[in-house]
Amino acid sequence: MEKIRIFDTTLRDGEQSPGASMNLDEKIRLARQLERLNVDVIEAGFPSSSPGDFESVRRIAQEIRGPQIAGLSRTTPGDIDRAWEALKYARNPLLHVFIATSDIHLQYKLRKSREEVLEEAGRAVAYAKRFTEQVEFSAEDATRSDPDYLARVIEAAIDAGATIVNIPDTVGYTTPTEYGKLIAGLRQKVKNIPKAILSIHCHNDLGMAVANSLAAVENGARQVECTVNGIGERAGNASLEEIVMALKTRRDFFSYDVGVVTEQIYPTSRLLSSITGILVPPNKAIVGANAFAHEAGIHQDGVLKEKLTYEIMRPESVGISQSTLVLGKHSGRHAFRERIKALGYELSEAHLNQAFQRFKEVADKKKQVFDEDLEAIIADEILRIPDLYKLINLNVVSGTAVVPAATVQIEIAGKLYQEAGFGDGPVDAAYKTITKITKTKSRLLKFSVNAITGGTDAQGEVMVILEEGAIRVTGQGAHTDIIMAAAKAYINGLNKLEYQKRIKGV
């Protein structure tokens, strides 16, 4: 199969997304992950834009040896010199020069004539060619340029030595049919086009970046410039994961190959999100939390019988461990039964019906029912968990001039125990003292407080999630004293943990 090159510009164009700037260490971490992802090109930055960008391109060029490393440059000799100074350490450097070709940009931004830009494009490529054989030329705002003039500029760039020519949809203006015709037209008009790889770079302002990119591939483009999670200027760039998985999943239609290690897609997405703080929407294709999640009962029943009924790709193929059956008010009995079994419970038909009825009541009140909710339903409705630990008394001292301290009395199997301890705050002091008495080894994963009613005398409800080994439970407690509510929730969680450990033989 003919190969489509994946040119990743997350570190350059993606970083231009508002709020997505990264420091040097973060860029190196992401570059290493992109190397594991096995993209063909990493555009590491725009060296002349700032000292920080220069240093990040230099470091990435020195340290990343797999993908080709690209640096962006305007057509001025000073810019190109600066880009090469950073790129020269790369095993396989790519100098990427650009200039706008649309009349809008020529008139209002560059204030140059078409002939001046035509001459400058060829001159810049020839100058860049002095440093490296691999030079890419981009015609900024190509989709709003006159097609005949665009063809002349591209031909001049190739004559000057460009090995890759890029036709960007810089402002996300074009449509798939229109863009496909533009790419096909350039292949006919530009006589020397066989000497260069035809590349495309699409923005998502009208939500068509991926569709436009794929239309260009159908019409002869062989390099796609894109970003992880689709981040980038304004509405973002074409999404790397969507393009790659479209080409992989629909090989029957596209008949092209990509070298990306798709199992690294999800880890790369998660790393970028953790670095930038830009969360992936749950309905995002391929890497969103709901991409392989099913809630509707009909869908869940189909997936349980045969995954192909509602999944066109395996979650494992993009690095997600498994698809998820989300339990909510639309879920059916089949999915509920399977989840109960997965949690380790064997219920009679009568008990299953009883638990399912209670589940439906909870699901009507909550958007999603979690495993901890199911265990609470089973414990409260069917198993009636006996309390190993009973909170008898709690006294807490806290304030600006004292170290928070707690004195706790707990009854364990009919015997009374008392301890005192300190903490960073009243809840921390109480929890550390409870742990000292119970000698438990659980980890507190979540602590949340909600007011059940309004006013300063409101009853507070505390929810905690505790984990020990592979067992995770939810503890709940309510009281007008929020410290007491917190202690009750913690004790409730510890009791559930002990019960789960007994029934699972831990």
* The pLDDT of residue 303: 54
User: For the chain, what percent of residues have pLDDT higher than 70?
Assistant: 90
16 compared with 252, residue with greater pLDDT = 252
Nearest Cα neighbor of 236 from 247, 248, 225 is: 225
pLDDT single digits (tens) 307-323 = 677 677 888 899 876 66
Rounded Cα distance between 62 and 228, Å, is: 22
* The pLDDT of residue 470: 83
Binned at pLDDT 50, 70 and 90, residue 479 comes out as: confident
For helices 176-189 and 209-218, the axis angle rounded to 10 degrees is: 40
Rounded Cα distance between 13 and 232, Å, is: 6
Q: Over 80: is that where the pLDDT of 504 sits?
A: no
Rg over CA atoms, the chain: 30
Beta bridge mates, 294: 325
pLDDT single digits (tens) 176-204 = 999 999 999 999 999 999 999 999 999 99
Rounded Cα distance between 280 and 1, Å, is: 32
* The pLDDT of residue 294: 65
* The pLDDT of residue 385: 62
| Cα 362 to the center of its chain, rounded Å | 30
Q: Over 70: is that where the pLDDT of 343 sits?
A: no
Supply 247's token pair: 């080409």
Pick the range with the lowest mean pLDDT from 169-183, 325-339, 373-387: 373-387
* The pLDDT of residue 332: 79
DSSP β-ladder status, 164-169 and 402-412: unpaired
Contacts by 216-219 with C-beta closer than 8 Å and gap 24+? 216/167, 216/179, 216/180, 216/183, 217/4, 217/247, 217/254, 217/256, 218/180, 218/254, 219/180, 219/181, 219/183, 219/184, 219/187
136 compared with 274, residue with greater pLDDT = 136
Beta bridge mates, 471: 468
Which H or E element spans position 463?
Answer: strand 460-468
Rounded Cα distance between 25 and 382, Å, is: 53
Binned at pLDDT 50, 70 and 90, residue 358 comes out as: confident
Question: For residues 242-253, b (16+ Cβ closer than 10 Å) or e, as one string?
Answer: bbbbbbbeeeee
Topology of domain 2-276, per CATH?
Answer: TIM Barrel (3.20.20)
Q: Over 60: is that where the pLDDT of 454 sits?
A: no
pLDDT single digits (tens) 139-151 = 999 999 999 999 9
Domain boundaries, the chain: 2-276, 293-383, 389-503
The number of beta carbons lying within 10 Å of the beta carbon of residue 106 is 20
Binned at pLDDT 50, 70 and 90, residue 63 comes out as: very high
pLDDT single digits (tens) 208-222 = 999 999 999 999 999
* The pLDDT of residue 379: 62
What phi-psi label fits residue 348: left (phi over 0), alpha (psi between -120 and 50 degrees) or beta?
Answer: beta
What average pLDDT does range 108-116 have in this prediction?
97
Rounded Cα distance between 94 and 135, Å, is: 6
What average pLDDT does range 249-277 have in this prediction?
93
- For residue 501, report the phi and psi dihedrals to the nearest 5 degrees: -65, -40
The number of beta carbons lying within 10 Å of the beta carbon of residue 310 is 16
9 compared with 453, residue with greater pLDDT = 9
DSSP 181-225: HHHHHHHHH-TTGGGSEEEEEEB-TTS-HHHHHHHHHHTT--EEE
pLDDT single digits (tens) 417-443 = 999 999 999 999 999 999 999 999 999
Topology of domain 389-503, per CATH?
Answer: Double Stranded RNA Binding Domain (3.30.160)
- Which residues contact residue 216 at a Cβ distance below 8 angstroms, ignoring those fewer than 6 apart? 167, 179, 180, 183, 200, 202, 224
Binned at pLDDT 50, 70 and 90, residue 229 comes out as: very high
DSSP β-ladder status, 471-479 and 460-468: antiparallel
